[in-house]
Amino acid sequence: MKTLITALLVLAAGSAHALNAAEYQSGLAAAAKSAEPGFAGFSAQRGENFYRSTHGGDWSCATCHTDNPAASGTHTVTKKTVKPLAPAANPARFTDVDKIDKWFKRNCNDVLKRACTPREQGDFIAYLLTVK
Amino acid sequence: MKTLLTALLIAASAPALAGDHAYGPFPANYVSECGSCHVAFPPQLLTAPDWQAMMNALDKHYGVDAGLEAKPRAAIADFLQKNASRRDKHASTVQAPRLTQTVWFRKEHGNLPAKATKTLPAAAQCESCHTAAERGDYNESGLKLPAGFRHKER
């Protein structure tokens, strides 16, 4: 019994820190509001356009993550498999804030040659959440 | 029986011997940070100065941003320094260090190209021939050579 209680406590402590895409996105909303006074919520449509655009460079998000974010992709340089990006297809996505920040920084630099804005990140997640 | 026992003991101790192509297993942070875009390469296949140069330029890592926060970066740099090769044949012959561009690698890997072709994988795609490369195991028993591979470069 004591073991069970300990196990439950460990589980509860773990879940208190678990993150999901919607929660991460709500943090972005506050940042977007302070960056853009006219901010009126995230848009999945804008997010999809963003996902498919090459932003004037060679790559788009879809280059590695494919046209369908629920599918596995291939790293365009190394050919290694990239697991699905949409949380519906891969529940591990957007559950670790360090990982999210790391990959936004890297991939925004790769595709846009700059950091993404909070609105762009929120739109992007809004789109991913519509993918089933 | 004694011979069998000796043979088993040798087999069991084999992964610890140098030169048998067993480089791993690698620490979890190394595999997760350096093995997500490409296979986690054996640290033993480049020299300490090569790894240092690479770790100092992670934001511009062969055309992509592989930047890391200071703390995980330091841990990985330390692992690479401790396990780097001390042999000249493992020193990169090109300025941005590549473990596919050392005297040793070129001698061992025949006509493998820098970029994948229809018949051959790129030299850095270890896992396409070394089927257990994900675990740092490059033993020849797990080797699956593509039809177009030739041991001589030309």
**Looking at this predicted complex, what is its ipTM?**
0.83
Q: Are B46 and B102 in contact (CB under 8 A)?
A: yes
Which of B65, B98, B130 is the mutation pick for testing A, counting most A CBs within 10 A? B65
- Number of domains within chain B: 1
Q: Are A20 and A95 in contact (CB under 8 A)?
A: yes
Q: Are B35 and B134 in contact (CB under 8 A)?
A: yes
pLDDT grade for B4, boundaries at 50, 70 and 90:
low
pLDDT in tens, B109-152: 999 999 999 999 999 999 999 999 999 999 988 899 999 899 87
pTM over 0.80, yes/no? yes
Architecture of domain A18-130: Orthogonal Bundle (1.10)
CB contacts of B116 in chain A (<8 Å) are 79
Residue B116, token pair as written in the block = 């994948």
| Structural domain boundaries in chain A | 18-130
Interface contacts (A, B; CB < 8 Å): 37
The answer to whether residue B12 sits within a structural domain is: no
pLDDT in tens, B13-55: 444 444 568 999 999 999 999 999 999 999 999 999 999 999 9
- Tell whether the model's pLDDT for residue B12 goes beyond 70: no
Q: pLDDT at position B67, please? A: 97
The answer to whether residue B72 sits within a structural domain is: yes
List the single range of A15-29, A118-132, B98-112 with lowest mean pLDDT. Answer: A15-29
Q: pLDDT at position B152, please? A: 78
C-alpha distances in Å from residue A17, one per residue of A12, A24, A48, A57: 9, 12, 29, 37
- Tell whether the model's pLDDT for residue A73 goes beyond 90: yes
Range of the domain at B55: 18-142
The answer to whether residue B43 sits within a structural domain is: yes
Q: Residue B38 and residue A80: Cβ atoms within 8 Å?
A: yes
The answer to whether residue B83 sits within a structural domain is: yes
Q: pLDDT at position A12, please? A: 47
Q: Residue A77 and residue B37: Cβ atoms within 8 Å?
A: yes
C-alpha distances in Å from residue B118, one per residue of B51, B102, B113, B139, B147: 31, 24, 11, 25, 11
Q: Residue A106 and residue B65: Cβ atoms within 8 Å?
A: yes
Query: B66 vs B3, which has greater pLDDT?
Result: B66
pLDDT grade for A4, boundaries at 50, 70 and 90:
low
Query: B20 vs A123, which has greater pLDDT?
Result: A123
- Tell whether the model's pLDDT for residue A112 goes beyond 70: yes
The structure tokens 């993404």 sit at A116
